[in-house]
Amino acid sequence: MKKFINKLFVSLLALGFFATTLFAYPQTMAEPGTAQDLAWVEEMALAPQSDTVESDLEAVLASRELARADADRQAAIGAATGEISRGSQSSSAPSQAPKSTASSSSATSDKKSAATSKSTASAAKASVKTSASSTTSKATAVINTAKKYIGVPYVWGGTTTSGFDCSGYTQYVFAQHGISLPRVSRDQYKVGTAVSYSNLKAGDLVFFSLDGDKVIDHVGIFLGNGQFINASSSKGVTIYTMGSYWQSHFIGAKRVF
């Protein structure tokens, strides 16, 4: 009779535990601990019973506590896993920032490069303007010096203000401005930069072959407006217009600034 009562008590206790688990802790139904608890209850129902009800009750209560502890542990593990996953996602998000920074840095670099290019171009233009201005200034100074000696007589082989030949005159005038020229006209033609007739500028040296054999034998200084100054064998230092005669004997021009 005592064994029957014990079995009945255990069965009722198991049924109560099952109902409590089903309605009060539904989340524990999916946990591994629930299956273990049910297996334990079955074992209790089938196994030989203890002599006292109190020991069976204590065992059931202990088992319930273990089940709850296991459920809490599984819930904590799940929460921790979710936190780690969210942390991983949030930590990966800033990885896009360097792209923005790199893009911004690239844009800044491009702007600096463009500014540098503009600055370089401006400096180059300024340099060209300065160079052109300097050349024009030197040419003006040379022409002013050349005109000072208008009327000085022609002397073959002359290189002073007492008398000039054509190449002695040009050598003397340019020397007043720190430009050294060879002594004779054919050698003077070998220095400087070649200039076409259509591109002549004031201060350019103009060369002729008066004998018509294409050998340079005369030189003068271009003044602009189709005129040049030279030491002529018939008139001394004088200014001529480069008409058809002079153009027909023209060989070339050189710029020595």
Q: Which of 144, 177, 199, 230 is catalytic?
A: 230
Measured CA to CA, the distance from residue 246 to residue 200 in angstroms comes to 14
Q: Which of 144, 166, 199, 249 is catalytic?
A: 166
Question: What does the pLDDT read at residue 138?
Answer: 95
The topology (CATH level 3) of 138-256 is endopeptidase fold (from Nostoc punctiforme) (3.90.1720)
> What does DSSP assign to residue 154?
B
**Domain segments of the chain as ranges:** 138-256
Q: Is 249 a catalytic residue?
A: no
Contacts of 255 (CB under 8 A, 6+ apart): 192, 193, 195, 201, 203, 204, 205
Q: Is 166 a catalytic residue?
A: yes
Question: What does the pLDDT read at residue 31?
Answer: 45
Question: What does the pLDDT read at residue 132?
Answer: 73
What is the pTM for the complete model shown?
A: 0.53
Question: What does the pLDDT read at residue 29?
Answer: 44
102-142 residue pLDDT tens: 555 666 666 666 666 565 566 556 555 666 788 899 999 99
What residues in the chain have per-residue pLDDT under 70? 1-67, 69-71, 74-131
Neighbours of 256 (CB within 10 A): 17
Question: What does the pLDDT read at residue 246?
Answer: 98
Question: What does the pLDDT read at residue 152?
Answer: 98
Q: Is 199 a catalytic residue?
A: no
Q: Which of 177, 218, 225, 249 is catalytic?
A: 218
For tokens 């005592």, name the residue.
2
CA separation (Å) from 8 to 11, 41, 60, 61?
5, 13, 14, 17
> What does DSSP assign to residue 220?
E
For tokens 């050698």, name the residue.
187
End-to-end Cα separation, the chain, in angstroms: 137
Question: What does the pLDDT read at residue 202?
Answer: 97
